[in-house]
Amino acid sequence: MTWKHQLRAAIQKLLGLNLMVHQIGDLKAQLELLQKELEFTRRDLLGADRLIRNTSVVLVSSAGPARESVDHILPKGTIRDNTRWPRLGVWAEEQFGRKVRFLDLGCAGGGLVYDMLSLGHDAIGVEGSDLSAHYTRAEWGTIRERLFVADITKDFDLQDTESEGRVLFDFITAWEVLEHIPEEKIDGLFANIIRHLAVGGIFAASVATYEDSDATTGLRWHQTVQSKGWWLAKIRQIAPEFVEIKDGWKSKDFPRGSGNPNIPWDWDAEENPERGFHLVLRRR
């Protein structure tokens, strides 16, 4: 093969590679465009849904984000989690015999609020860190008017602009939250729960009982690692109006501590009770 033929072959190879690069680039651009179109379609559909689910709830008297929290300083769950579990909305309706007004504390990406809204419940979420809101992460880009940022251990009020009074919820939850609260701030958290929970309402939570810390910094995400007996005694002391509900629920009714298959790191209270438990309490 002469040098001219070699040069021609080399040029053809380069042209072929260049074509492949353009084709790959075009495919990537098409996939990105499709992803954006799907996201816009999802938001458009939800936008239509908002017309029948507009909320009159606003956050007032908040101390702002929990900036001194380890979960904000060294974000983990708050920037990673977007728990989904439609079964929770079904269980709530079974308990009350109707649609409920729902509040999720430590809501992270807002997935449970989205699920509850999809099932026809009136749902609100409050997250301690403003990172998800800042990055418009997860459901903060779809149901933002339903999600609020506030330190849940300090006084805050959710009010109804129509009735001009505090919103009372039938069902308040805190999944993988209680163990993140320093012991000295637990009273403040339950003051907010009592302030917003209607008489006869239910508070439910999953509580981990294992250590969780960062090996490099030594910072601990799990601030209060205690047994179920300890938590019940503490709650009786600060919120005697609560009575434990022992029947009518299973771990699988709940989004965390149930071995949630959508969350690889979720523990299962039935299979591994040493890793945590559930609290289900009713306000008398």
Helix then strand count (H, E) for the chain reads: 8, 10
Q: What is the pLDDT of residue 253?
A: 98
Work out the mean pLDDT of the chain and round it to a whole number. 88
Indicate if the pLDDT at residue 54 is higher than 90: no
Indicate if the pLDDT at residue 48 is higher than 50: no
Q: How far apart are alpha carbons 219 and 252 in whole angstroms?
A: 31
Contact 85, 115 (CB under 8 A): yes
Q: What is the pTM of this model?
A: 0.83
Q: Convert the pLDDT of each residue in 200-227 to its tens digit.
A: 999 999 999 999 999 999 999 999 999 9
Question: Residue 25: how many CB atoms within 10 A of its CB?
Answer: 10
Find the radius of gyration of the CA atoms of the chain.
Answer: 24
Q: What is the pLDDT of residue 164?
A: 86
Per the structure block, which two tokens stand in for 15?
Answer: 């042209």
Q: How far apart are alpha carbons 177 and 179 in whole angstroms?
A: 6
Q: What is the pLDDT of residue 49?
A: 53
